[in-house]
Amino acid sequence: METDTTTLSPESLRAEMVAKVRAGGWAERGEVERVLRDTPRHRFLPDADLELAYHPYRAVVTHRFDNGRSLSCASAPWLVAGMLDQLDVQPGHRVLEIGAGTGYNACLLAQLTGRADLVTTVDINPDVAARASRALADTGFGGVHVVTGDGVLGYPEHAPYDRMIATVSPWDLPAPWWQQLAPGGRLVAPLRWRGQGRSVAFTRTGDRLVSDSLVLCGFVYLVGDGEGELSGAITSDGLVTLHWDRDQDVRPDALLGVLDQPRVTTWSDVTLGRQESHEDLWLRLTATDPRVCRLGVTGDVPPEVCDPVPGYWRMALVDGGTLAYLTLRRVTIADEARCELGVIGHGPAAAELTEHLCGEIRAWAPDRHRHSPTLTVHPAGAPDSELAGTAIDKTHSRFVLTYDDPPR
């Protein structure tokens, strides 16, 4: 039976929110749970009703671009808690936040470090920054430094920082962030590579950043991050698009109309239960296959044209004029409803590419619950001889994803 939230106080809703976040495995650190419980989130979201403000799994959009796309939002509480777990703020730490949002996260950071003046939050949009500043002042945390500026540049005036957190999604880690993070400091950022996104927690170790935690997530993109990710329509009506990184050899003109070519479908025999995800397959392939991209499919596209796994953003492989992407079908095994993963391909090498991707699914399946990777980020000039694997090259850095058990 659902709770009647219309009769509950903000305090009751907040307690219920924290309980659900904790039950989901977030706010594992006691101090993170404490600040979530003590902070009136609704006062940073005056235009949202209480139920939405304290919904544990929903983000709240607060500003939009003229085209309707989200410019700024308050992240869902579970993700706020998870990223604060990753950041591990200790009393006395100097903290930089990229993306002021509503000011809520800066308020939490100020309580974790113990002094509001040790927290600096930067936002490129003056309206967003002004609103965050007012909310912080109104809740007793006016000592937080709210700066209107380009987050790509960080904020050198208060560096070095013991902790840095980005609440907008960068395609790369800008050089100023490296320069402003103290040795041994931690940085948490929702990074993007090969079309997928993870909140990654790093420790600065010498001249590199080494991860110890990756959490699946999606965020508003960092404004001013450059054209690291490219995109192009592959259907004449523009309803199916492909997105790829700048360092990838993708020619969208060779793929325009590829979905009109004959379809090849191959099934993997790998099935998933109701609570199982295939997202780690995408992550794993980014370590070994430079052809991994992202397919965007609107709800207006009929399955006979394009029939990917559910969701707007889906993994695909591109090889010249050939496209392959994940699909699924419902099956019943021992009276249990499951979904079988398969691959649909179009183009001259569709048979080969679909079979290749099914082979990757079969190789991934036995290990999908046991292994997590390490993402190591090197400066852009690092030679190949210093890298533990194949580099994904960005503007300011080189990403290397490695597994204890090398992907087969």
Q: Is position 70 annotated as part of the catalytic site?
A: no
Neighbouring residues of 359: CB distance < 8 A, sequence distance ≥ 6 = none
State the Cα–Cα distance between residues 376 and 212, nearest whole angstrom: 10
**Is 42 among the domain residues?**
yes
| Exposed/middle/buried for residue 139 (C-beta within 10 Å: 0-12, 13-18, 19+) | middle
pLDDT digits (tens, 9 = 90+) for 313-322: 799 999 999 9
| Exposed/middle/buried for residue 312 (C-beta within 10 Å: 0-12, 13-18, 19+) | exposed
**Is 146 among the domain residues?**
yes
**Is 386 among the domain residues?**
no
Which amino acid type is present at position 275?
Answer: Q
Total of domains in the chain: 2
The answer to whether residues 249 and 165 belong to one domain is no
**Is 404 among the domain residues?**
no
**Is 133 among the domain residues?**
yes
Q: What angle do CA 400, 404, 209 make, to 5 degrees?
A: 35
Residue 42 has pLDDT above 90, yes or no: yes
Question: What per-residue confidence (pLDDT) applies to 405?
Answer: 64
State the Cα–Cα distance between residues 136 and 142, nearest whole angstrom: 5
Helix axes 30-38, 104-113, angle to 10 degrees: 130
Q: How sure is the predictor about 88, in pLDDT bands with cuts at 50, 70 and 90?
A: very high
Which amino acid type is present at position 29?
Answer: R
Residue 301 has pLDDT above 90, yes or no: yes
Q: How sure is the predictor about 6, in pLDDT bands with cuts at 50, 70 and 90?
A: low
What predicted TM-score, i.e. pTM, was given to this entire model? 0.91
State the Cα–Cα distance between residues 307 and 297, nearest whole angstrom: 9
The answer to whether residues 182 and 296 belong to one domain is no
Reported for 200-209, long-range contacts at CB under 8 A and 24+ positions apart, including other chains, are 200/375, 201/86, 201/87, 201/88, 202/375, 202/377, 204/178, 207/378, 207/379, 207/382, 208/376, 208/377, 208/378, 208/379, 208/382, 209/173, 209/178, 209/376, 209/377
**Is 305 among the domain residues?**
yes
**Is 390 among the domain residues?**
no
The answer to whether residues 296 and 201 belong to one domain is no
| 48: containing domain | 5-216
The CB density around residue 381, as the number of other CB atoms within 10 Å, is 9
The answer to whether residues 256 and 175 belong to one domain is no
The answer to whether residues 301 and 210 belong to one domain is no
The answer to whether residues 129 and 243 belong to one domain is no
**Is 380 among the domain residues?**
no
State the Cα–Cα distance between residues 342 and 84, nearest whole angstrom: 37
State the Cα–Cα distance between residues 63 and 131, nearest whole angstrom: 11
The one catalytic residue among 72, 75, 169, 211: 72
State the Cα–Cα distance between residues 313 and 295, nearest whole angstrom: 6
Which of 66-70, 181-185, 285-289, 404-408 has the highest average model confidence (pLDDT)?
181-185
